[in-house]
Structure 1
Amino acid sequence: MERIQHKLALLPDSPGCYLMKNKEGTIIYVGKAKVLKNRVRSYFTGSHDGKTQLLVSEIRDFEYIVTGSNMEALILECNLIKEHHPRFNILLKDDKTFPYIKITNEPHPRLEVTRRVLKDKAKYFGPYPNAYAAQQTKKLLDRMYPLRKCNVIPKEVCLYYHIGQCLAPCVQEVAKETYESMTQEITSFLSGGHEEIKKELQRKMHEAAEELQFERAKELRDQIINIDALMEKQKITVNDAKDRDVFGYAVDKGWMCVQILYMRQGKMIERHASVFPFYGDAYGDFMSYVTQYYSDNPALPQEILLPEQPEDQDDPASIDAPTALQEWLGVKTLVPQRGLKRQMTKMAEENARVSLDEKFRLIERDEERTSKAAENLGKAIGLESVSRIEAFDNSNIQGTNPVSAMVVFIDGKPAKKEYRKYKVKTVQGPDDYETMREVIRRRYERVLKENLPRPDLIVVDGGKGQISAATDVLENELALFIPVCGLVKDAKHKTAQLMAFDPPEPVYLPRDSQEFYLLQRIQDEVHRFAISFHREQRAKSMVTSRLDAIPGIGEKRRKALLKHFGSLKKIKEASVEDFRPLSIGEKLAHEIINALRDEDSPEES
Structure 2
Amino acid sequence: MPLVSFDHKAFLKTLTTRPGVYRMLDNSGEVLYVGKARDLRKRVGSYFTRSLNRRIQSMVSKIDAIEVTVTHTEAEALILENNLIKRHKPRYNVLLRDDKSYPYIFLSDEAFSRLAFHRGSKKAKGRYFGPYPNAGSVRETLQILQKLFPVRQCEDSFYRNRSRPCLQYQIKRCTAPCVDLVTPEAYAKDVDDAMLFLEGKAGQVIDSLVSRMEQASEKLEFEQAARYRDQIAALRRIQERQYVSGEHDDLDIIACNSAGGMNCIQLFYVRSGRNLGNKVFFPRTPEESSEATIVSAFLAQHYIGKLVPQEIIVSTRPEDDEVLENVLSEQAGRQLRIRSNVRGDRARWLKMAMQNAKLALDSRLASKSGMEQRLDNLQTALGLEELPGRMECFDISHTGGELTVASCVVFDRNGPLKSDYRRFNIEGITPGDDYAAMDQALNRRYTRIMNGEGKLPDILFIDGGKGQLSAAAQVLDELAVTGVFLVGVAKGVSRKPGMEQLFLFGSDAPIILPADSPALHLIQQIRDEAHRFAITGHRQRRERRRNTSLLDEIPGIGPIRRQRLLKQFGGLQGISRAGVEEMAKVEGISLQLATQIYEAFHGEE
TM-score by length of 1: 0.63
Match 1:251 to one of 257, 262, 283? 257
Query: Map of 1:119-158 to 2, 5 A cutoff?
Result: 119-129=123-133, 131-142=135-146, 144-146=149-151, 149-152=154-157, 154=160, 156-158=162-164
Opposite residue 37 of structure 1, the aligned amino acid is: R
| Greater relative contact order structure (CA < 8 Å, 6+ sep) | 1
Opposite residue 327 of structure 1, the aligned amino acid is: E
Alignment match, 1:429: none
Alignment match, 2:86: 82
Alignment match, 1:541: none
The 1-side partners of 2:314 and 2:530 are apart by 33
Indicate conservation of the 8 Å contact 1:98/1:127, yes or no.
yes
Opposite residue 460 of structure 1, the aligned amino acid is: V
Deviation string for 1:236-287 (max 9, x for gaps)?
A: 3447x4x4123332333252433333131xx133231424254434234313
Deviation string for 1:275-317 (max 9, x for gaps)?
A: 42544342343133223333453x554x23344964xx767xx
Alignment match, 1:349: 350
The 1-side partners of 2:319 and 2:212 are apart by 58
Alignment match, 2:564: none
Instruction: Tell me, yes or no, if structure 1 residue 304 matches structure 2 residue 311.
Output: yes
Q: Report % sequence identity.
A: 26
SS in 2 for 1:508: coil
Q: CA deviation at 1:437?
A: 4.7
Deviation string for 1:354-391 (max 9, x for gaps)?
A: 11332355468768965764333223666553537687
The 1-side partners of 2:537 and 2:436 are apart by 9
Segments of 5+ residues of structure 1 without an aligned counterpart are: 425-434, 477-482, 486-498, 501-505, 536-572, 574-605
Alignment match, 1:474: 506
Instruction: Tell me, yes or no, if structure 1 residue 270 matches structure 2 residue 279.
Output: no
Aligned residues: 482
Match 1:288 to one of 297, 305, 308? 297
SS in 2 for 1:3: coil
The 2-side partners of 1:381 and 1:25 are apart by 38
Q: CA deviation at 1:461?
A: 1.4
Indicate conservation of the 8 Å contact 1:378/1:386, yes or no.
yes
The 2-side partners of 1:379 and 1:221 are apart by 67
The 2-side partners of 1:130 and 1:287 are apart by 22
Indicate conservation of the 8 Å contact 1:104/1:123, yes or no.
yes
Alignment match, 2:379: 378
Query: Map of 1:428-443 to 2, 5 A cutoff?
Result: 436-440=465-469
Match 1:194 to one of 194, 202, 211? 202
Alignment match, 1:422: 435
Opposite residue 458 of structure 1, the aligned amino acid is: V
Q: CA deviation at 1:113?
A: 1.5
Alignment match, 1:14: 18
Indicate conservation of the 8 Å contact 1:459/1:484, yes or no.
no
Opposite residue 379 of structure 2, the aligned amino acid is: G
Alignment match, 1:542: none
Opposite residue 142 of structure 2, the aligned amino acid is: K
Alignment match, 2:239: 231
Segments of 5+ residues of structure 2 without an aligned counterpart are: 427-433, 438-463, 540-575, 577-605
Kindly tell me: are residues 121 and 467 of structure 1, through their superposed partners in 2, closer, same or farther at Cα, counting changes over 3 Å?
closer
The 2-side partners of 1:221 and 1:247 are apart by 35
The 1-side partners of 2:226 and 2:200 are apart by 24
Query: Map of 1:402-413 to 2, 5 A cutoff?
Result: 411=412
Kindly tell me: are residues 77 and 47 of structure 1, through their superposed partners in 2, closer, same or farther at Cα, counting changes over 3 Å?
same
Kindly tell me: are residues 320 and 469 of structure 1, through their superposed partners in 2, closer, same or farther at Cα, counting changes over 3 Å?
closer
The 2-side partners of 1:10 and 1:261 are apart by 47
TM-score by length of 2: 0.63
Opposite residue 330 of structure 1, the aligned amino acid is: G
Alignment match, 1:460: 489
Query: Map of 1:26-105 to 2, 5 A cutoff?
Result: 26-47=30-51, 53-54=54-55, 56-59=57-60, 60-61=62-63, 62-96=66-100, 98-105=102-109
The 1-side partners of 2:68 and 2:121 are apart by 33
Kindly tell me: are residues 156 and 332 of structure 1, through their superposed partners in 2, closer, same or farther at Cα, counting changes over 3 Å?
same
